[in-house]
C-alpha cells in the first residue's frame, strides 16, 4: 500500500500488482489447493482505493463502490471481504465508505484483487488506529486469499504453500515490459488443466536464486519460469502467439505471470524497456493485445516512491 492522501476520517491509497518471476507447482494438497514455490516481485502498477469514515452514521456499515460495474457480485469483491473481516476482528465505530478505481484488469495473474484486499486491511489499520503489527496483518490477509499476505509487506519474496508462507528476498531494481491481453484467464481452469501435467519429482525445478538476483537482466530473463504457462496456453491459444510476437520484437524471453494472462519481459533500465515497448507497438498487430505498459519493480513499501507505470502507446 502506498499512501497518497491523509485527512480527518479519510485516506487515499494505491495498491500495487505483482509478477511471478518463477513459479513451480509441486503437487496437489489434501485441502484441494496446489503446493507451489514462487518468486513474486511487486511492480508499479496501481489501483486506487479511497476510504472515508463517516462519524455519527450507522456504526459498522460498509458501503462499497467501484468504477468497473459488475466486477464481482455484491459482497464478493475482495475489498468488501477484507473490510468485513477487519470489522469482525476490530469493530468499526462509524459508517465506512470505500471507492475502488481499477486500472489493472482482473484475470491477468498480477494479483490486483489480492493487492486491493491487503491494501484495505492496511488502510483500515491506519484509518482506525488499531495498531495491528505486520505479521498479524499478514495472517489476517492470508484468510482472504493465497497472494494477499505478500502484498501486506510487498517488495520481493519467495512464497510457498498456497502462496502464504513468505520469505522476503532482495532483488535488483528492474524494469518490465508488460502486455495486457483482451482476455480474462480463470485461475481455477488453469490449475484444473495442469493436473495431468504435474512434473515427476525428478523434474521439479528449484528457484534459480543466483540468476534472478544477478545484476544482469539478461541472466535473469533466461531464468524466468512458470509451470502454469503450458496449461494457460492450451486454454487460450492467443497467449502463445502474442508471447512469440513480443519475444521476436523485444529480443528477450517473454513469460506468463501467475495463471495469466499478462505477459512480461525484464530489462535493466527504463530506457531499454521503453524502447522494446515502442518496437513491439510498431511491430505487433495482434487483436488480442489490449495494451503495453512499462513499470519499475518496487523494493519495499518503506523505500522510495516507485515510478508509476507508463503506457508504451495508446492502444
Q: Pick the catalytic residue from 4, 47, 147, 290.
A: 147
The span from the CA of 137 to the CA of 250, in Å, is 40
Number of domains in the chain: 2
Domain boundary among 152, 168, 184: 168
pLDDT value for 314: 35
Of 2, 217, 239, 1, which is closest to residue 108 (Cα–Cα)? 239
Question: Catalytic: 147?
Answer: yes
Find, among 194, 213, 43, the residue nearest to 111 by Cα: 43
Say what the pLDDT of residue 300 is: 62
Q: Which of 18, 28, 47, 290 is catalytic?
A: 18
Closest CA to 28 of 157, 162, 185: 162
Q: Residues near 184 by Cβ (< 8 Å), separated by ≥ 6?
A: 105, 106, 107, 108, 261
Looking at residue 278, its pLDDT comes to 95
For the stretch 137-171, pLDDT in tens is 999 999 998 899 999 989 999 999 999 899 999 99
Stretch 286-305: mean pLDDT: 79
**CATH number for the domain harbouring residue 283:** 3.30.70.890
Provide the residue range defining the domain that includes 181.
175-311
The secondary element (H helix, E strand) that includes residue 233 is helix 229-235
Mean pLDDT of 13-30: 94
* pLDDT in the model for residue 199: 85
**In this structure, are 128 and 191 located in the same domain?**
no
Which of 168, 203, 218 marks a domain boundary? Answer: 168
**How far is it, in rounded angstroms, from Cα 187 to Cα 14?**
24
* pLDDT over 80 (residue 309): no
* 18 included as an active-site residue: yes
Assess whether 190 and 164 both reside in one domain: no
**pLDDT tens across 100-127, in order?**
999 998 889 999 999 999 999 999 999 9
β-partners of residue 47 are 15
Query: Are 54 and 138 within one domain?
Result: yes
Cα–Cα distance for residue pair 175/271, rounded to 1 Å: 9
Residues 97 and 155 in one domain: yes
Residue 307, pLDDT > 70, answer: no
Instruction: Let me know whether 307 and 207 are in one domain.
Output: yes
CA distance 232 to 224: 16
Same structural domain, 157 and 201: no
Q: Residue 312: pLDDT band by 50, 70, 90 thresholds?
A: very low
Q: Is the pLDDT of residue 270 over 60?
A: yes
Q: Give me the percent of the chain exceeding a pLDDT of 90.
A: 75
Q: Which of 43-52, 187-196, 251-260 has the lowest mean pLDDT?
A: 187-196
Q: Is the predicted pLDDT of residue 5 greater than 90, yes or no?
A: no
Q: Report the DSSP pairing between strands 95-101 and 10-28.
A: unpaired
User: Percent of the chain scored above 70 by pLDDT?
Assistant: 95
**End position of a domain, from candidates 138, 168, 198:** 168
Gap between the Cα atoms of 38 and 159, Å rounded: 5
Cis peptide before 153 (omega within 30 of 0): no
Whether the per-residue pLDDT at 302 is higher than 60: the answer is: no
Residues 7-24, mean pLDDT to the nearest whole number = 94
Q: Which of 258, 301, 257 is nearest to 293 (CA)?
A: 257
Rounded CA separation 259/47 (Å): 20
C-alpha cell read off for 81: 471481504
Q: Which residues contact 109 (CB under 8 A, 6 or more apart)?
A: 20, 185, 187, 256, 257, 258, 259, 260, 261, 262
pTM: 0.92
* 181 and 162 together in one domain: no
Q: Of 200 and 313, which is predicted with more confidence?
A: 200
Q: What is the pLDDT of residue 77?
A: 92
Amino acid at each position: 500500500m502506498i499512501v497518497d492522501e491523509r485527512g480527518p476520517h479519510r485516506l487515499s491509497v494505491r495498491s500495487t500488482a505483482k509478477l511471478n518471476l518463477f513459479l513451480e507447482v509441486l503437487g496437489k494438497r489434501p485441502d484441494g489447493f496446489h503446493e507451489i514455490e514462487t518468486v513474486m516481485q511487486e511492480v508499479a502498477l496501481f489501483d486506487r482505493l479511497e476510504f472515508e469514515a463517516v462519524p455519527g452514521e450507522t456504526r459498522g456499515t460498509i458501503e462499497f463502490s467501484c468504477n468497473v460495474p459488475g466486477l464481482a457480485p455484491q459482497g464478493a469483491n475482495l475489498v468488501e471481504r477484507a473490510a468485513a473481516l477487519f470489522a469482525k476482528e476490530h469493530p468499526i465505530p462509524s459508517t465506512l465508505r470505500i471507492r475502488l478505481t481499477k486500472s489493472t484488469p482482473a484475470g491477468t495473474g498480477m494479483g490486483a484483487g489480492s493487492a486491493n484486499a491487503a491494501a484495505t486491511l492496511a488502510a483500515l489499520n491506519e484509518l482506525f488506529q488499531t495498531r495491528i503489527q505486520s505479521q498479524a496483518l499478514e495472517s489476517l490477509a492470508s484468510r482472504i486469499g493465497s497472494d494477499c499476505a505478500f502484498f501486506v509487506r510487498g517488495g520481493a519474496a519467495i512464497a510457498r504453500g498456497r502462496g502464504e508462507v513468505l520469505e522476503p528476498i532482495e532483488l535488483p531494481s528492474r524494469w518490465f515490459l508488460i502486455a495486457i491481453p483482451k482476455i480474462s484467464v480463470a485461475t481455477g481452469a488453469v490449475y484444473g488443466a495442469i493436473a495431468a501435467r504435474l512434473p515427476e519429482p525428478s523434474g521439479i525445478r528449484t528457484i534459480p536464486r543466483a540468476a534472478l538476483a544477478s545484476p544482469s537482466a539478461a541472466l535473469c530473463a533466461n531464468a524466468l519460469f512458470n509451470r502454469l504457462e503450458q496449461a494457460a496456453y492450451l486454454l487460450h491459444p492467443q497467449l502463445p502467439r502474442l508471447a512469440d510476437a513480443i519475444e521476436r520484437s523485444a529480443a528477450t524471453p517473454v513469460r506468463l505471470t501467475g495463471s495469466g494472462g499478462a505477459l512480461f519481459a525484464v530489462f535493466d533500465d527504463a530506457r531499454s524497456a521503453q524502447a522494446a515497448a515502442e518496437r513491439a507497438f510498431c511491430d505487433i498487430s495482434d487483436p488480442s493485445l489490449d495494451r503495453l505498459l512499462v513499470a519499475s519493480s518496487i523494493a519495499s513499501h518503506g523505500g522510495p516512491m516507485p515510478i508509476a507505470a507508463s503506457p508504451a502507446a495508446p492502444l
